[in-house]
Amino acid sequence: MQAPSFNLCILALLGYSTKIDVNLFKKCLEQTLLKHPRFSSLLVVNDKKRGKCSWRRTRVDLESHVYVPDLEPDMENPDGFVEDFTTGLSRIPLDYAKPLWEVHILNVKTSDANSVVIFKIHHSMGDGVSMISLVLACSKKLSDPESLPVMPSKKQAQTQKQKPCGVVGLMKRLFVAFWMIIVVILNTLIDSALFVATILFLKDSKTPIKGGRRVDRAPKRFVHRILSLDDVKLVKNAMNVSINDVVLGVTEAGLTRYLNRTYVDTTQNHRENGAQVMKKTRALPRHLRLRSAVVFNLRPTPTIEDLAEIMEKEKELNGVWGNLVAIVLLPMTIALQDDPLSYVRRAKATMDRKKLSLESKVVFTALKLLIKLFGIKTAAAVTSAVFRNTTFGFSNVAGPQEEISLFGHPLCYIAPSVHGFPKH
């Protein structure tokens, strides 16, 4: 993704609980981001035909990266203004003559924050995990301004000591292990075949949420909503599932209800007792093919201490930064359920099935091979076909676990999104 052909940009909205002191914000940027190699380098095209690029250090003029529009603080609809402003940024390409990032400071009070800062960063600068690690490396705990925050980490499953078993027990374990290998191989073959079919011809069903032709050039709207993680954890703990299972289940439930409400508005003429009657019909089509292209990180999360040291001493990255992501196709089941928890159970079954597949590693290896053999433009065309033939994208990144200050100001929320399509 370190090439202009991957015309993907990250738009991250940072909500702050105080008004932004512009001079302090710029000073903090100079002490942190400007010392990071990616934020002080130009993306240089070495081989235009194959799309090979490299990074070249340059002197950064902070004033050409930080924008502070003069705004009316008591505007009538600040939330709508921020959404419109973000949408406008998505239509303006980044300038490749300077490092591929910019900051827009909006000192306007919204329903969720007292000010908003929008970062626009080309995706070649790094993936979501790299970016959130950098955010945490630039931040401090509110409770202890001298300390770095704690990095989110996966809880390790507790391993129980295996009791000695006889020949029968050993045979059972060998059989289970052999069966799991067979299942993983079969799932990987099926998922890989479906991925190739999606690139070539397999498209999702036409629905009101499926983008049409030239969707990459259609204007986009950027909207964020803050949900209670406590509610998600309540369902997670009660059902013994993961947070991702709950979020996926809620997404399926929301899409099902939205599509059902959209299709139910159709009416049909019926004749009852000789009279013409107009009746609404529940016309949600069955067997809709609706899939999400899920993008997730394959690289081990860089530590905050490593990134902080990189910026403090202006060291090189040495492989701890960049884009190391994979794409998998996640089928979404659109069907009304009487029990709301059925959506979560079904989501867990889908996720468990995907965990028994090496689709992500196969796709990553194939894309890497395509880039090596045919160049970045071919890989961009393949990636574009996947997103064009599926309905939407899905990704998440774990954020800070405690209240933090970022660039000298207390942070309320982080709302990242991605816009753009790979060019080919």
User: Which residues fall within 8 angstroms of residue 220, CB to CB, at 6 or more apart?
Assistant: 87, 90, 419
User: Is 34 in contact with 60 (CB distance < 8 Å)?
Assistant: yes
From the centroid of its chain, how far is CA 253?
20
Which residue do the tokens 């009852």 mark?
Answer: 272
Q: Which two tokens stand for residue 216?
A: 């990459």
Which residues, including other chains, have CB under 8 Å from residue 16's CB and lie 6 or more apart? 113, 114, 115, 116, 117, 409, 410, 411, 412
Answer whether 248's CB lies under 8 Å from 351's CB. Answer: yes
The CA distance from 14 to 4, in Å, is 26
Give, as one character, the DSSP assignment of residue 6. B
Residue pointed to by tokens 């049909």? 268
CA–CA gap between residue 371 and residue 334 (Å, rounded) = 36
Residue in 123, 224, 270, 287 annotated catalytic: 123
For residues 400 and 152, give the distance between their C-alpha atoms in angstroms, rounded to a whole number: 7
Residues linked to residue 388 through DSSP beta bridges, in sequence order:
none
Quote the CA–CA distance of 80 and 325 in Å, as a whole number. Answer: 33
287 classed as catalytic = no
At residue 33's C-alpha, the angle toward residues 27 and 38, to 5°, is 150
Could you give the CA distance from residue 231 to residue 193 in angstroms, rounded to a whole number?
38
| Tally of CB atoms within 10 A around 312 | 12
CB-CB contact of 245 with 351 (8 Å):
yes
**Residue 1, helix vs strand vs coil:** coil
Q: DSSP string of 188-244?
A: HHHHHHHHHHHHHT--PPP-TTS--TTGGGS----------HHHHHHHHHHHT--HH
What residues pair up with 415 in beta bridges, in sequence order?
A: 13
Please tell me the distance from the alpha carbon of residue 354 to that of residue 359, in angstroms, as a whole number.
8
Token representation of residue 378 = 């071919």
Q: Which residues are catalytic?
A: 123
